[in-house]
Amino acid sequence: MVHQHASTEPERLLKRHLAKTTPGIQYIVANKHGTVFEFAGGWADIQNQKPMSLNSSLMAYSMTKTFTALAMLQLAEQGKLKLDDPIKSHLPDSPYPEGITIHQVITHTSGIPNPIPLRWVHPAEGHPNFDEHLAFAQVLKKNAKAAFPAGTRFAYSNLGYWLLGMIIEGVTKQSYVQYVSDQLLAPLGLSPHELAFLISDFSNHAKGYLGKYSIMNLVKGLITDNNAWGDYEGNWLRVKNLYVNGPAFGGLVGNARAFIRFLQDQLGEGSALLGPASKKLFYTEQTIRPGGTIDMTPGWHIGNLKGTRYFFKEGGGGGFHSEMRIYPTQQLASVIMVNSTEFNSNESLSKLDETFLA
């Protein structure tokens, strides 16, 4: 456990979570100069009594989408694509209507449907034999109908972001994973042990859990494959090590310190990843027809905590939950990562961050 903050309030809140809502937790607050507060506590592995440390890796799931969006802005900045390009100009076999643009997919206004992605996973040990392109083609075929006309409303879509990953591969002539690793993670000085798309060290990777007495545990057989589940460890059901089928919508594996490194780059005046115009767009509230705004930028959701505007991305799935935030006016950023499926990151992070937003 490490902490650098005069107040014991965040620590008290974090310990309460460890008693009730999650086996283990990582939480960090930072400004562009360094860490303001950091904490790791509880268990990364209940059965073997391995403590959660700040270096333990966890699944980040949908926090990955912010990196996918940033990759698209980066490629647009380099002139390798235009955000107003129709997706069909890059993926001619897409079953969706002609007019849908990359920009609409990034901002979840494309009308591409959002089937429940809980089955879009495969065992980590089977990953070398996994065929992502085949899995993507099968999902696309089953979900070929747009849910609404593009640009008319906001509706979250994991499938849309999987599609963006395929566009990145077509434009760069390399895998999505390789592009993001080379062009986003490496410039931030992040090693594969800190943030990557594979579990680099299974002995350092937190086990994911589902509460024994949770609603999700009652209905899991209806929405997930039974081979995803391990044994009960006290009041928790262990989730086996899984990878999502589409890394672009949820594949990153890492720790809170790695995500803070990314957020600190974003807090600075410049960025190692984006030029000024692209960075400004990355934080620009978006509109839909006929003229309404949505709480979304090309890559972030927009929130408000007692009058302070912030940008955030949440990630959740089998065994893990996480959220990262940037508070531009306060020049602060925060990350919470836990190894519990049903953890309420939004409510928890708001209570914790409030103590630093004086």
| Residue pLDDT, tens place only, 233-252 | 999 999 999 999 999 999 99
Helices (H) and strands (E) in the chain, counts: 11, 17
CB atoms near residue 231 (< 10 Å) = 9
Examine residue 220 and state whether it is found in any structural domain, yes or no.
no
Residues in a beta bridge with 337: 26, 322
In tens, the pLDDT along 80-131 reads: 999 999 999 999 999 999 999 999 999 999 999 999 888 899 999 999 999 9
Question: What are the strands, taking DSSP E only, across the chain?
Answer: 24-30, 35-45, 50-51, 58-59, 121-123, 195-196, 208-211, 229-233, 236-239, 242-244, 253-254, 286-288, 292-294, 301-305, 308-317, 320-327, 332-338
311 pLDDT higher than 50? yes
Rounded distance between C-alpha atoms, residue 255 and residue 205, angstroms: 10
5 pLDDT higher than 50? no
DSSP letter at 4? -
Instruction: For residue 144, give the amino acid letter.
Output: A
Mean pLDDT across 293-318:
97
In tens, the pLDDT along 170-192 reads: 999 999 999 999 999 999 999 99
2 pLDDT higher than 70? no
Examine residue 4 and state whether it is found in any structural domain, yes or no.
no
pLDDT given at position 222: 73
6 pLDDT higher than 70? no
Question: What are the strands, taking DSSP E only, across 124-263?
Answer: 195-196, 208-211, 229-233, 236-239, 242-244, 253-254
The whole domain housing 109 covers 9-207+226-328+340-354
Domain of 304, CATH number, reads: 3.40.710.10
339 token code pair: 């190894």
Sign for the CA dihedral angle at 172, 178, 183, 184 comes to positive
**Count of domains observed in the chain:** 1
Per the CB < 8 A criterion, the answer to whether 16 and 347 are in contact is: no
The region that residue 136 occupies, defined by phi over 0 for left and psi between -120 and 50 for alpha, beta otherwise, is: alpha
Mean pLDDT across 286-293:
89
20 pLDDT higher than 60? yes
Q: 293-297: which pairs have CB atoms within 8 A and are 24 or more residues apart?
A: 294/107, 294/109, 294/154, 295/154, 296/107, 296/108, 296/109, 296/154, 297/107
- Please state the separation of Cα 159 from the chain's center in Å: 14
